[in-house]
Amino acid sequence: MGLVRLLLPLPRAAARLGPGPGRRLLGAALTRCLAPDWVLLRPPPPERRLAWAEEATAVYRALAGREDARPRDRDLLARALVWHAYTLVLVDRCEQACAVLDASTAVPGARWPPAQRALLLHLRAQARYGLARPDDALGPAGECVAAYRRLVPARRERSLGGLPGALRTYALVLAALDRTEESVAAYEECAGLLRAMSVRELSRATLVRVRVLCELTAGLVELGRHEQALSVGREAREAADAVMVRVAPEIVRPLRVRLFTDLARCLEVTGDPSAARATAEEAVTEARTLVPGRATALRERTAGQPLLVMALDCLADRLRETGCLARELKIRREAVELSAGLAAEWPAVHEPLHAVCLERLADCHRAAGDRRGAVRAEERAVAAYRRAADRDPTAQEPQLARVLEDLSLLRQDDGDHGGAVGDAREAVVLTRRLAGADRTAHHVLTARRLRVLGRALRGAGDPGAAVACCTQSESILTDASEGPGAGRYEASLAATRTGLALALDGEARAHLADGRADDAVAALRSLLALTRRTDGTRVHARCVTVFAHARAEYGESVVPAWTRATGQGFPTFVYRPSGAVDGERPPGGN
C-alpha cells in the first residue's frame, strides 16, 4: 500500500490522458490505498483516507455515468461508496456514513459478492452504534456475524474484514443494550478465533485482538468473574505492549488506561491490595500522557481528561482501602477540578461526571471527619445534578433525589436540621413525582426518603410531622412486603419502625412537657400498638423507656388521662432498660 501511495500521481495523470482505462487504474489505486495493511505499517491519517475515498467515489461515479459504462463500473462504484462509508466511520461522521451506505445499495444493477455485502452490514452496524442507536445496530450486527460465518473469503477479499471484527462489533452493541452475558460470550468466541490465528493472519488483526481482550476484561469485571478477568487482562496487557503503543497510540493508550483500572479493581477483589494500588498508579500515569500541556488547544487537552478522571477515581478508591485519606483527598480534588473543566466545555456530556466526582469528594471529607467540607462538596454535587436534570430529567432527576437525601443526612450530622428538612422534603417531592411515572422503581424509595425527612423533622423539633412521615413510610413498606420478594424490605421496615418509635417518643414527651396529657396518651397508645406489631428490640426498649418516664414524671396527669381514653389502668412493666438505650442511634439513618 505504501508504494501505491507514492505512485498515485501516475494514475492521476493517466486518468487525465485516458478517461476510460486511466480512471479505472486510478480508482483501483485509490481503493488499494484505503484497504487496511500490515499492522506495523502506520496507516495514513483518517482525513487523508477520507479524501482518497471521496476521490475514488467521484472517479467511479463518472465511469458508471458514461454511455459506454460496463456493468463492472457499477459494481466498483458500489464498492467505492462502501469504502467511503468506512472512512466516514473512522472520523465519526456516522450520519453521513449511513447515507453513503444507502446510496451504495441504490446503485442500479450493481452486483454484491458475499464479502462485500458482509462488509456493508458491518459498517451499517458500526455507524448506527456510533450514533448511539444500539437497537437499530443489533439487526445488521447479527446479520453480519451470520454472513461471515458462511463466508470463506478469497485472498483478495480479506481486506474486507472477517468474523473476528464482526463479532467484536456485535459484542459492543450487546453491551450497549445491557446484555452483558451475551456480549461476553461473543467476545470470548472472538478471542478464541484470534488465539487460533497464525502470526501472518494476526498481522492484519492485531489491533482487533488488543481491543477484544481489553473489552472482554471489562465485561468479565462487570459480571463479577474477577479471576477470569485477571487472566484475560494479563493477556491483554501483553498484547497492548510498547510496540503497539508506538504503532497506534491514539487507540492503544486509552485501552491501556481502561485495562489498568479494570485490573486494579480485580486485584482488590481477589485480595491483593498492594498490586491493585500499583496498577491504579499505572493507569493514572498512562492517562496523564493523554492530557497535553496547557499550551495546546482546549479540545485537544480535554480529549483525554475523562480517562484521567476515571483513573484518578480508581486510584482514590485503592487509597481509601489502604487508609491513605490525605492522598485520597488530594486525588479527589484533582478529579473534581478536571471534571469541572470538562463540564464547562461540554456540560450536556460531562456535568453528571462532575457531580459524581463531587459526591466522591464529599465521601472522602466525611471519612476524614470533616463534616463541613462534606456538606460543601455535596451542595456543589446537588447544584451540578440540578443543571444536568434541566437538560435530561429522565436520567438525572433520580440522581438529584438521591444526592438530596445524602445532603440531608450530612446536614443532620452537622447540626443544620433546618437545611436538612428542606433537602429531605425536596427529595420526597421529587421521588413521589418519579413514582407517579414509574411506581416499581421509585415507590419504595419514597418510603426511605420519608424516613430521612422524619429524622430531620425530629431533629428540628417537630416530632408530630416526623410521626406523619414515618407512618407513611411504614405503610408503603408494609404494602410492598405483602408482594413477592417481601424479605427485601425487612431491614428498611425495621429502620422505619425504629424511627417511628423515636418520633412517637419525642411527641409524647413534648405533649407531657406542655401539660397536654390527652395528646400524650394518644402518642403513647400509638407507640404501644407499634410495639405489639413488631418484635424489634429497639422499638420495645423505646416503648418501655417512654412509658416509665411518663409514669415517673407525669403520673398524676397521664394515668387518669390513660384511664379515660382506654378504660384500663396505665400499663406497668417488669424491667427498666439501661440508660444507654435512650441515647443510642439505631441503624437505617434514624
Q: Which residues contact 337 (CB under 8 A, 6 or more apart)?
A: none
The stretches in the chain having pLDDT less than 50 are: 1, 39-40, 156-157, 294-299, 574-588
pLDDT of residue 365: 95
Tell how many helices (H) and how many strands (E) occur in the chain.
29, 0
Q: Tell me the C-alpha distance between 346 and 350, whole Å.
A: 6
pLDDT of residue 40: 47
Q: Tell me the C-alpha distance between 424 and 402, whole Å.
A: 10
* Nearest by Cα to 30 from 98, 72, 76: 76
pTM surpassing 0.75? yes
pLDDT of residue 24: 65
The 8-class DSSP code of residue 293 comes to -
**Mean pLDDT of all residues in the chain?**
86
Q: Which residues contact 215 (CB under 8 A, 6 or more apart)?
A: 168, 171, 172, 175, 187
pLDDT of residue 1: 47
pLDDT of residue 27: 64
CA distances to 420, 553, 555 from 513, in Å: 26, 10, 12
pLDDT of residue 159: 53
pLDDT of residue 323: 85
Count of residues in the chain: 590
- Listed in sequence order, the DSSP H helices in 203-248 are 206-222, 226-239, 242-247
pLDDT of residue 274: 93
Q: Tell me the C-alpha distance between 545 and 542, whole Å.
A: 5
Q: Tell me the C-alpha distance between 535 and 141, whole Å.
A: 56
Q: Tell me the C-alpha distance between 60 and 76, whole Å.
A: 7
Q: Tell me the C-alpha distance between 18 and 424, whole Å.
A: 79
* Nearest by Cα to 508 from 522, 499, 520, 516: 520
Place of cell 468473574: 225
Sequence letter at residue 96? Q
